[in-house]
Structure 1
């Protein structure tokens, strides 16, 4: 706010009024005594007067020996009386009283002086009555004439914790008495119960909190909120208190809390997988709108950790950061988050959850995969917030299971061992021989593709050559002639049949030598004409029978020097999944000619012709290796009817629960029925209180003891009310007015008791926190320091008040110490114990005369109306003792100093031995400012706009180079100089009684003089003064009457280093 008119501002440059300035010596009757002379004064007066009276001895009446001062010779031996009020006079007076005290003890004072002293002491009674006339007159005028009366004592109150036993619940009626011990008069202090109370077994078992700092992008959690580090470490200082909603600090007093973590989990029977395969999973989450961030596979790998239910416990892995194929790559793009995982054979199998191994079973116990993200960076905060604020729409899970080398394999003859080379079709493979492949996982999954890869062993180099001796005779029967003749063809010009040569004595020898016949180089009746001769069909069994999927497929595919075979099995037209619950069957469509081989071999061996080819032994299929790969894909739409097999869980640092749209729709207090991947905090700060031992319909009485004044007043707004909720079926339900019977805490700004009547559904089963407790949550939308620090939260709390039975009330000043009230005056069945955790509070001693006269005098002037500046300032100081100084600015509002009808009241709190959030810039909370404003409005004219505000503070920072005297510890004295500068600019910070001054100002020369007076500073160089970061000249003044100059929390002090040229 800029000054409007300098002449106007001169009127506003006032120092204001402090509590000390209210004291008027003229109101103290003891300052005006009608009879001032005391015993010492009378004796000095008599001694001084005696020197003017001659002394006549008894033996002569005409001759004077001396004066009557000889009479007082025993008490004092001075002739000249010092001036009254001087130190000499006071010293002389005190010496007389000391001598009289000694004479009184020894009894050696002369009789004549004893009589005089006794007379003067009796005169003290008359002196007291005479001097009391002023007070009695003032009391008569104020009390009898004007009707003022002293304010009576205000009884103190105390919070007690009641411990009840098991059995029938006791009832403490209103007025129940508690023993507060014995006072200084020997009388018993009695404290009585204000309201009826029925204790129960409810106890505060856990206190946790979570704080979200959107500026620093941090989320911090405490598992044990009432501890130094949030994990149970005790506080270093007694009564330090803890921030109820957590914090983002990292100091010696408040160490850094743990980073919050969040996660979501997929539980699905089809995730079950043995360790027999290398597994790739792609989880693609589709959201209803684009995510507010994007990311690569490296980002997903960096931010997420993954756990799955393994055979011996939870197995932790990281997202795969390489691309498997086009749709198997981790990334965030548009409205999709894709997380790819890789679990190799060396890692544990993915199994169903078991309570003994994995803890509390989630859902129906199906395999569970958790995706967790810790808020340990600004990027992680952005992802957590985005995932928690964007609703899910769809989930697509794709998986690849590869290198399965141990499926269940069988032939027609029995079970085979896939770990060694085996004969899939038996030792004598024939047409119709079958090979069976089963894999238990297929029953739980929905494969979209199966790939069977086999490596054949001991195969011929070429099947045509190997089976060259095997011929198709067509309709001819197998005979020696037919067999031999098929291997030869007639030479040129030869027309006789081949068989005719067999009738000759030489057989084929002579025709072969004369080229009448030759070996057939390219027979057209080969049974095996090429490597593609042997084929098989492939069938699937869905549990209802075999269905042919591939009617014909070549068994041998060239692979380098050998052969292999790969079957790719895909769903048929109109189908998405393969029905292979009971396995796959591969059936030979031809024999490997094992049944023909013995006869052909016998015929060949019976020939005496060396040119007769001998058939090779037929090949028996031998698989050296068998590997199975298969792929699955499943999609789940959260906007449609949910699939009961899929369980989607979310979790944070406190627990887990299932996100289920149908469940949310069925819960009345869940206004948003969408599915979210992360339970992002609803408010900035959350305090969670776990209650054990409470039963439905029972009331819960909680004492929340706070360190009053520890809050940051600038963060406190009256409109920002805290919200209480209770956990019902894993979701928070706001408590209504009927659920909060009373609340004395004023938004956790002061200590008090909150009494709850919890709804019955609060006792429903939940998993979000410890399930055997009832959980309360209080949430705040402001920063962590907008509320006071908490000293403790206790259940079974009651408030008692002192019943004054003529007791000594001296304890009201500081309160009755904690643990003073430990029992009831009359024992009650069912009550095991009584505990007073903190001092009593709120008591005020009866008004003393001094305060009574000040109040009455001010009342006569302002007449309980806030008309003038003087009226407003004195009304505030009287009503609010915690205000140390007040300054009223008339014609002033927040925007201008020329605003008729507006009055601004600046108030400064008392900081001496008080809890203040910032001792450098002490301020009141918004609640207290509103209270002061309301008080003044009641006493002001309706047209006056009056408002109480905190002053504006301007930080003064000193930049100076300094040289200390030789031999001093530079490190220590640099810190001391910084502290001394702070004390010079803001003396109240060091516990000094000097209060804040509204018109404080100084110049550079006075600062230099301050440095010169310091005994450890040799000289300084280049002192510079900054006000709110702006360098100032010689005179440093506040910017306006609303501003106060204060020291910065530290200054720029450095050692002087001369420049050597």
Structure 2
């Protein structure tokens, strides 16, 4: 009834009839000398030869005897009623299935496509109605192939420019970030899609690459703006030790790492004189240079910067204006006090960096070396009348900004004194004024004495000393430097830190504005469903200059079922949505999805395999099982997109459904639609199926008649699963020793005796387990060697059967329980055989036989055991193997013989073997002994 083959009522052939006729006539006498068989089968003719003549009647010689020709003609005539009789089973089944039950072949199922629509420049928004027809050409019979839009779509010019994600790692205490799409930098997703939050190694320009999120601070310091100021040292004081911090400074589009050292609660970073800090291009809203401090650990607490001090060594940005009006860098001016300075002659010091340091304490050290200065100025001026120079220290400078207010320029002998200034800078002030003291260098006295002729040979008059710089060292420091700290975020910055306890996906959009509707279409496959509130949608807003993420759940419509399937969604961008904030890159509006809370996805093991194991052995067995992929496979995301369904699938040629409709086939509407500029079909079609054939229809109906949609026995369960779950290739039932009945029997309570009215109870500790094996190429686990279905899919299968079975059935549907089996073997080969190549070939033979799913083949039905003989039989099939000398399974040193014996046959009732072979290790292949 359920066989796909037609039932043959009379399957006897012409030869069979001739042989039966010969046997029958052999028992009937013709005369006293012979029987009737000798009348019909004479002249060398046999049933075989006569049957052959009839099959090739056109080439027969025409010498057949009349009785033989009569016999063949009669049997040929009987072919017609035999054929008619053989049609009876099919006609009866057709009558019963279609006439009585009224069942028909399944009609063709319409396929779907995803279309992305673009309005023209005259339309900022365009309403595309449901049912709009799009053309995909014609089928092989010339019938138009049209698709009807599944839902109305409000389109605009919005486009997606960014897809980014974050994934916290509690093991390493870090957060991993990845930019999957960035139109501005040319980063695009991998061809064929990507698993959300999976590692991305990059390696080439334009490929996504993982980065560890930096945890730290941005310090905006305007005082760093001055260029060419010399080597700078930043001393940053924290409220606790900043161990592990690194620092870098912004230089336009680049970040320059800085050499750092930590001592106690301070961090010192050095900026070489060649660096010219600028505002960072990465953070478009900042206009001053930035010091970025970071570490890669996501600590709960982060030391805060409490003070900043800048020290400039060999400052080249300090300029001087002399009393003569000469201006220039201090290092390039010879005469600070001008030529022939008088008492009180001033010079001023200034720097552009000081203009940005209002309220900060400036400490400047000027260390001059004076050219040609006499070592003893008192002696130099000794012949001057009424000599006012009593020593080197009488030449002083005065300034309100000097630490000591008045300081001698010169020390004893050749030593020169440093000038140390300290001042709290005010808004707009960037100069220090210095005046020569009350005693000048006696130029006026020299001229007067010279004119009066009071110069004698025994009292020569030395010319006045003009203080001229031979060299000068200028250094200054700014204490209490003004800075603005911001917490460093993965893609921006804010006044406070943000903790990331769950994965996040960020979506950036441009060419739209608040109030417009954003229509999205997701192509996504999720192995493990998210809980009903497992996804949280937010948008980036800004009110009164304060940026924050706000919930979007009320404004969002989503028919993907929380990323459970492909589908569209739409949201009206709220009025306070912002595209210029510090939290994310500017120039686009941002949405983000967070939380990603999964339903149960724990791997379950068969009860019968674990009930006798210790907790340690159970953990070992559990460790062999593959982990389920927890996050969706992402094929793509499109704006202004919607699905469309094939129109009138019954009239389309079957060839249309043989392969998915290629991407790009649909490119226009059937009738021009005003305002619609372009139609794209980014993905191949899906879901189509041709009308069911008669043979497939009869097979399906026969199976339905057998089980009637009920799981009454093991055979029904298998057929229901295979028929309704196309991703299942095979269903493995329990072994005979645990296959003790489908349903749990009713047992009356002990107190009720044998009363017929006693309520039955269930034996809840008895569970019937079955294993489902996925189709080749389907794997929702993380190990390609161990394909599995997700726990959610297993629960769906289990619920499907439970809904059609007796409530007494306590069924569990499981993935294969994978057993890692270490196989070692020795084989004897000839001397000419390359042992390394043979090793690889033998391992591949074992994999193909016991693990065929690795090569995309359908999995063979597992046996009840794996034995050493099974391995030997495969090895011996190789032509270069003379014989197998040894095979061990899970052989472990120092085990007892009893322990080793249990590995001679490994039970695999609800398990699948995953062979561990010595492909990457050298295994000696012994040579056979020479025979004489």
TM-score for the superposition, normalised by structure 1: 0.68
CA contact (8 A) 1:1038 1:1045 kept: no
Counterpart of 2:248 in structure 1 is 306
What is the Cα deviation at residue 442 of structure 1? 1.8
Tell me the distance in 2 between the aligned counterparts of 1:139 and 1:226.
61
Q: Quick check: 1:368 aligned with 2:290?
A: yes
Tell me the distance in 2 between the aligned counterparts of 1:718 and 1:398.
52
What is the Cα deviation at residue 781 of structure 1? 6.9
Where 2:259 maps in the other structure, the secondary structure is coil
What is the Cα deviation at residue 462 of structure 1? 1.6
**CA spacing shift, 1:53–1:763, aligned 2, 3 Å:** farther
Where 1:469 maps in the other structure, the secondary structure is coil
CA contact (8 A) 1:246 1:784 kept: no
* 1:199-210 correspondence to structure 2 within 5 Å: 199-209=155-165
**In the TM superposition, what whole-angstrom CA distance separates every residue of 1:365-413 from its partner, at most 9, and x where no partner exists?**
2233445x6xxxxxxxxx31336x5456444221101223673323333
Which of the numbers 267, 271, 274 marks the counterpart of 2:224?
271
Counterpart of 1:743 in structure 2 is 559
Where 1:430 maps in the other structure, the secondary structure is coil
Which of the numbers 966, 977, 983 marks the counterpart of 2:842?
977
Q: Which runs of 5+ in 1 are unaligned?
A: 1-25, 57-63, 83-91, 322-328, 374-382, 473-525, 541-547, 637-644, 662-673, 893-897
What is the Cα deviation at residue 630 of structure 1? 1.4
CA contact (8 A) 1:103 1:109 kept: no
Which of the numbers 122, 130, 134 marks the counterpart of 2:85?
130
* 1:157-236 correspondence to structure 2 within 5 Å: 157-166=111-120, 167-168=122-123, 171-179=127-135, 182-183=138-139, 187-209=143-165, 223-224=179-180
Counterpart of 1:27 in structure 2 is 2
The structure whose RCO (Cα within 8 Å, separation 6+) is larger is 1
Q: Quick check: 1:330 aligned with 2:252?
A: no
* 1:443-592 correspondence to structure 2 within 5 Å: 443-445=355-357, 446-470=360-384, 472=386, 527-540=388-401, 550-558=404-412, 561-571=413-423, 581-592=430-441
CA contact (8 A) 2:323 2:345 kept: yes
Q: Quick check: 1:283 aligned with 2:137?
A: no
Counterpart of 2:616 in structure 1 is none
**In the TM superposition, what whole-angstrom CA distance separates every residue of 1:1000-1039 from its partner, at most 9, and x where no partner exists?**
3122244334323322234556533228999854644557
Once the two structures are overlaid, the 10-residue window that deviates more, 1029-1038 or 393-402, is: 1029-1038
What is the Cα deviation at residue 925 of structure 1? 0.9
CA contact (8 A) 1:459 1:619 kept: yes
Which of the numbers 1000, 1015, 1028 marks the counterpart of 2:879?
1015
* 1:1018-1029 correspondence to structure 2 within 5 Å: 1018=882, 1023-1026=887-890
CA contact (8 A) 1:178 1:823 kept: yes
Counterpart of 1:343 in structure 2 is 272
Tell me the distance in 2 between the aligned counterparts of 1:108 and 1:788.
79
Tell me the distance in 1 between the aligned counterparts of 2:73 and 2:531.
68
Where 1:532 maps in the other structure, the secondary structure is helix
Tell me the distance in 2 between the aligned counterparts of 1:172 and 1:759.
22
Q: Quick check: 1:99 aligned with 2:56?
A: yes
Counterpart of 2:479 in structure 1 is 633
Counterpart of 1:325 in structure 2 is none
Q: Quick check: 1:318 aligned with 2:318?
A: no
Which of the numbers 351, 360, 367 marks the counterpart of 1:439?
351
CA contact (8 A) 1:877 1:886 kept: no
CA contact (8 A) 1:891 1:899 kept: no
Tell me the distance in 1 between the aligned counterparts of 2:151 and 2:73.
60
Which of the numbers 305, 310, 316 marks the counterpart of 1:399?
310
What is the Cα deviation at residue 853 of structure 1? 0.8
**CA spacing shift, 1:207–1:432, aligned 2, 3 Å:** closer
**CA spacing shift, 1:745–1:934, aligned 2, 3 Å:** same
What is the Cα deviation at residue 775 of structure 1? 4.1
**CA spacing shift, 1:430–1:256, aligned 2, 3 Å:** closer
Which of the numbers 780, 793, 818 marks the counterpart of 1:953?
818
Counterpart of 2:638 in structure 1 is 794
Counterpart of 1:410 in structure 2 is 321
Where 1:306 maps in the other structure, the secondary structure is strand
Aligned residues: 850
Counterpart of 1:828 in structure 2 is 673
Please report the RMSD computed on the Cα atoms of aligned residues, expressed in angstroms. Answer: 5.1
**CA spacing shift, 1:580–1:826, aligned 2, 3 Å:** closer
**CA spacing shift, 1:991–1:115, aligned 2, 3 Å:** farther
Tell me the distance in 2 between the aligned counterparts of 1:900 and 1:54.
75
Counterpart of 2:606 in structure 1 is none
* 1:73-84 correspondence to structure 2 within 5 Å: 78-81=45-48
Where 1:563 maps in the other structure, the secondary structure is coil
**In the TM superposition, what whole-angstrom CA distance separates every residue of 1:857-898 from its partner, at most 9, and x where no partner exists?**
112xxx73x566566555434432433214367899xxxxx9
Which of the numbers 442, 445, 448 marks the counterpart of 1:596?
445
CA contact (8 A) 1:448 1:631 kept: yes
Counterpart of 2:492 in structure 1 is 657
TM-score for the superposition, normalised by structure 2: 0.76
Counterpart of 1:505 in structure 2 is none
CA contact (8 A) 1:890 1:903 kept: no
Counterpart of 2:745 in structure 1 is none
What is the Cα deviation at residue 957 of structure 1? 1.8
Q: Quick check: 1:995 aligned with 2:860?
A: yes
Where 2:394 maps in the other structure, the secondary structure is coil
**CA spacing shift, 1:969–1:692, aligned 2, 3 Å:** farther
Q: Quick check: 1:880 aligned with 2:802?
A: no
CA contact (8 A) 1:153 1:844 kept: yes
**In the TM superposition, what whole-angstrom CA distance separates every residue of 1:828-878 from its partner, at most 9, and x where no partner exists?**
33343353621321647436111211122112xxx73x5665665554344
Where 2:392 maps in the other structure, the secondary structure is coil
**In the TM superposition, what whole-angstrom CA distance separates every residue of 1:310-349 from its partner, at most 9, and x where no partner exists?**
xxx556543224xxxxxxx436x6xx573512322xx143
Q: Quick check: 1:245 aligned with 2:197?
A: yes
**CA spacing shift, 1:54–1:566, aligned 2, 3 Å:** same
CA contact (8 A) 1:422 1:624 kept: yes
Where 1:404 maps in the other structure, the secondary structure is coil
What is the Cα deviation at residue 954 of structure 1? 0.9
CA contact (8 A) 2:396 2:409 kept: yes
What is the Cα deviation at residue 255 of structure 1? 9.8
Where 1:590 maps in the other structure, the secondary structure is coil
Counterpart of 2:613 in structure 1 is none
